[in-house]
Amino acid sequence: MAKYEKVGLIGLGVMGFGMAVNLLKAGYTVVACDINQERIKMLPEQSKVIAVSKPCEVTEHTNVVITMLPNSPHVQSVIYDENGLLSGKTEGLFLIDMSSISPDVTREIGKDLKAKGIKFVEGPVSGGQSGANNGTLTIMCAGDDKDIDDAMEIFEAVGKNIVRCGECGAGQVVKVANQLMSAINLISMSEAFALAVKAGVNPEIVMKVIQGGSGKCWAVDNRMPEILKGNFEPGFTIDLHTKDVKLAVEMAKNMNLPLYATNLVAELFKTAQVKGLGKKDNCAVIKLYEELAGVEVRS
């Protein structure tokens, strides 16, 4: 297993910021890169933070780099653009992409970087902002086993449940499947609670029963308490979750696989975006049903 002192991290958004904090706690120096330099200044232990403004500058300080970015084009841009990683030092470069992106794009990147002699491992995550902050993320890693071995100490600094999914692209496939189930659960929860509250039952009682029943799921355990408080600040945004559901739709279309609930959920999340909820937490999708029912699901 490789040992690293400095780790590059490109993307200090909701997830990347918490990961950077946990890398610092684990004793790493973090070479941080983000279009918003203020995010870097917010990190603790600034003496162990090296701030850079361009991806190509990261490799001046370390050869191991994590990317944690919103979507496929962002990852491609960070790698291939004029000031991207490949325009800097590439000798011994090890790229660990922990973004949630298209499996096809991941495979393309992996194949291309391998041809260039660059190590590449994917490690998309699940667990939301709380998992990133607490270092308890589930990591779906894929790629060559030896490369995953070399990345393991880094994965262990930011995650708790680290699962080897197979060859390059497999991690992203599993992540899409996870995000799809999460989205469907959010919709089923929204419908069930709107129904119960419309019928006059206290939502806290509904939550208590479901948490001990067959309807129990992450959405009820983790998101319903925030809904009851009226807290819809992200978290994980509807915009990002919509992107993940669209990836599932595209995958199914390419494989000629009918997925009925998937397409319905994609339209519901798109409706939430149209209604201006895209930057809110994904649990804000319940507002669609609150509007239809004429009730609010609150304590």
Q: Which of 133, 152, 168 is the last residue of a domain?
A: 168
| Interatomic CA distance for residues 110 and 253, integer angstroms | 23
Query: CA-to-CA distance for 51 and 42, rounded, in angstroms?
Result: 11
Closest alpha carbon to 223 in 287, 294, 162, 163: 287
DSSP three-state, residue 122: strand
- Residue 298 inside a domain? The answer is no
* Interval 79-135: pLDDT, tens: 999 999 999 999 999 999 999 999 999 999 999 999 999 999 999 999 989 899 999
Indicate whether 105 and 200 sit together in one domain. no
Question: So what's the pLDDT on residue 164?
Answer: 98
My answer on whether 161 and 200 are in the same domain is: no
Using DSSP's 3-state secondary structure scheme, residue 42 falls into: coil
The total of structural domains in the chain comes to 2
CATH number for the domain harbouring residue 205 = 1.10.1040.10
Say how many C-beta atoms besides its own lie within 10 A of residue 225's C-beta. 14
How does DSSP assign 215-254, residue by residue?
T--HIIIIIHHHHHHT----SSBHHHHHHHHHHHHHHHHH
215 and 198, same structural domain? yes
Phi first, then psi: give them for residue 237, nearest 5 degrees.
Answer: -75, 155
Residue 112, domain extent: 6-168
What is the per-residue pLDDT across 224-263, written as a single tens digit (0 to 9) for each? 999 999 999 998 999 999 999 999 999 999 999 999 999 9
Residues 152 and 21 occupy one common structural domain:
yes
Q: Give the catalytic positions in this structure.
A: 175
Whether 1 is covered by a domain: the verdict is no
Residue 187 lies in a domain: yes
Do 66 and 125 reside in the same domain of the chain? Answer: yes
Kindly report the pTM of this predicted structure.
0.94
Residue that finishes a domain, picked among 134, 168, 202: 168
* Single residue among 168, 197, 218 that ends a domain in this structure: 168
Q: Is residue 275 situated within a structural domain?
A: yes
| Side-chain-facing half-sphere of 124: CA atoms under 13 Å | 24
